Structure 1
Amino acid sequence: MSTTDAMSPVHDAKNVVGRVRNLIVSNHLERGDRLPPIRELAVQFGVKPGTVRDALLTAQAQGLVKVLPRVGAIVQTSEESFTGQDESERIGANIAGVIGQGDQNLFHILETREALEIAMVARAAERRELTELFRLRQILADMVKIPLEVESPEFAKLDIDFHLEIARLSGNSVMASMLRMLLVEIKPHLDRIRWSDNRRDSANESHARIYSSLVVGDVAQAQSEMRDHIRSTYNSLLDEMRKPPAVNGDE
């Protein structure tokens, strides 16, 4: 493959990551293709080999390449991944790659979700237009319609839809993409917690308070309600952790 790159030299790892991305696109590289050796890339980019090495490790964390000892950097994405996705989707994919590297502490992910959702609900309250709240209100109405005594996987789906809709209302597609990836990681753990009558009733009331704060555009109230709501989930998972695992299939 051609390794000619007419761009001017760069002198930091962050910029070299961008050059690596451009190299993948301009040479139409596919998943599994190998990049040139570090020393060759260093000459091509006009930087030291150590800078290229640091950049490749960063690119690996972003899901662009995989660095293998005595093999080199192997492409983990393709040209289509860059040209067929918008920036928020690419960032979301990178976050998913980072989360998937090793065992991540669930409660660290929940803390990240809390910070993210508090920021997004504040933006949604600042930007809110009543005409934009129709879908959020419809989600709430659909949740309330489900009888408390009926076990329904639809309730859990609507719960996620509620949070993703607030992410959309925030107007920040990158934040929304980040939240979507975090929820994918969290959902299997949430599914283990039964939606009891009390839990569902509490969730409905909490969602209603969040919605009301958005209607009036009260940023501080929206943040407070969202913080309490997310922490109730955190505490529910802590309660689940306190229980010993079921024995012999017992619930």
Structure 2
Amino acid sequence: MSGEREWMETELEPSGTASLKREFIGRFEGLILSGQLAIGQRLPPEREIARQLGVSRPVVHEGLLELAVRGLVTIRPRHGAIVSDYRTQGSVTMLASLLAYQQGELDPSLVAGLIDMRLLFETETTRSAVKNRTDEQLVQLNLLIEREKAAPGDNVAEVTALDFQFHHLVAVASGNPVYAMLVKSFEPAYTNLSSRFFAVPGMARGVFEGHETLVRLIEQRDAEGAVIVMKSLLEQGADVLLGLQHAANAGRRTNGTD
């Protein structure tokens, strides 16, 4: 119940009822998506939540209704709100919440799901980019490679932004505008995870060298080679991220915070 203690210890403070509602929704989204509030866990009564967070009961009620629409909680008359199994109850709105998530840790199963989806999706965007890229897009990719070479590897924010731009530009080069929009929609969750990867010393240089190899293969219209390189880059990121999350979870258990 450490997640419950955490949100009870800090009151909501934005100005205005609408802002309080957004803050309430954001906090509970984070607690659920991070796994701090477990699937099936019953939330305290609305009156108690309102008292602990220092807000009115209508703010809590309206916030819980919105969370229910997103598939994050189920409201049962006379039984209160229960954290939903978003794997079976989650809606498109829930997916949008996941893609927009950029704070703290995600539940390990969600991290693994995002990684698996990227492996399937971005190998296809790469294959399509080899086939459909234009000369102008190839120039843009090469210019981005030069920016990556000049970037300081220890500037995590800059490296993370450049990495996302590369993946987005590959999706644009695929010729499928829906692919590009989907990658763009991943930006908050993507950069939340990749910034942790690039915080590990030495990671940026190896990734950027992989990007340069990938661009050469796209230029040569070598679809199979390009897919192999993209898959290798994504799998390396997956291994590091899952290792970091495993270590973080082990640390929390050791410290008694889970």
State if a TM-score over 0.5 links the two structures.
yes
Q: Of residues 119, 123, 127 in structure 2, which corresponds to 1:122?
A: 127
Q: Of residues 153, 167, 172 in structure 1, which corresponds to 2:171?
A: 167
Instruction: Report SS of the residue matched to 1:105.
Output: helix
1:214 aligns with 2:218: yes
- For residues 177 and 139 of structure 2, the distance between their equivalents in structure 1, rounded to whole angstroms, comes to 19
Structure possessing the higher radius of gyration over alpha carbons: 1
Partner of 2:162: 158
Partner of 1:199: 203
Cα distance 1:116–1:159, how it changes in 2: closer, same or farther (>3 A)?
Answer: same
% same residue = 18
Instruction: Report SS of the residue matched to 2:202.
Output: helix
1:139 maps to amino acid? L
The within-5 A match list for 1:92-241 is 95-96=95-96, 105-148=110-153, 150-241=154-245
Q: Does the aligned pair in 2 maintain the 1:113–1:179 contact within 8 Å?
A: no
- For residues 140 and 209 of structure 2, the distance between their equivalents in structure 1, rounded to whole angstroms, comes to 18
Cα distance 1:197–1:97, how it changes in 2: closer, same or farther (>3 A)?
Answer: closer
- For residues 69 and 94 of structure 1, the distance between their equivalents in structure 2, rounded to whole angstroms, comes to 19
- For residues 176 and 240 of structure 1, the distance between their equivalents in structure 2, rounded to whole angstroms, comes to 29
- For residues 100 and 200 of structure 2, the distance between their equivalents in structure 1, rounded to whole angstroms, comes to 31
1:130 shift after superposition: 2.8
Aligned residues: 165
- For residues 116 and 125 of structure 2, the distance between their equivalents in structure 1, rounded to whole angstroms, comes to 14
- For residues 166 and 69 of structure 2, the distance between their equivalents in structure 1, rounded to whole angstroms, comes to 29
Instruction: Report SS of the residue matched to 1:191.
Output: helix
Cα distance 1:96–1:197, how it changes in 2: closer, same or farther (>3 A)?
Answer: same
Partner of 1:85: none
Q: Does the aligned pair in 2 maintain the 1:120–1:166 contact within 8 Å?
A: yes
1:99 shift after superposition: 5.6
Q: Does the aligned pair in 1 maintain the 2:159–2:198 contact within 8 Å?
A: no
Moved more, 150-159 or 223-232: 150-159
- For residues 233 and 241 of structure 1, the distance between their equivalents in structure 2, rounded to whole angstroms, comes to 12
TM-score with structure 2 setting the length: 0.54
Q: Does the aligned pair in 2 maintain the 1:128–1:169 contact within 8 Å?
A: yes
Cα distance 1:216–1:96, how it changes in 2: closer, same or farther (>3 A)?
Answer: same
Cα distance 1:124–1:152, how it changes in 2: closer, same or farther (>3 A)?
Answer: same
Specify which structure has the higher proportion of helix.
2
1:219 shift after superposition: 0.7
Instruction: Report SS of the residue matched to 1:193.
Output: helix
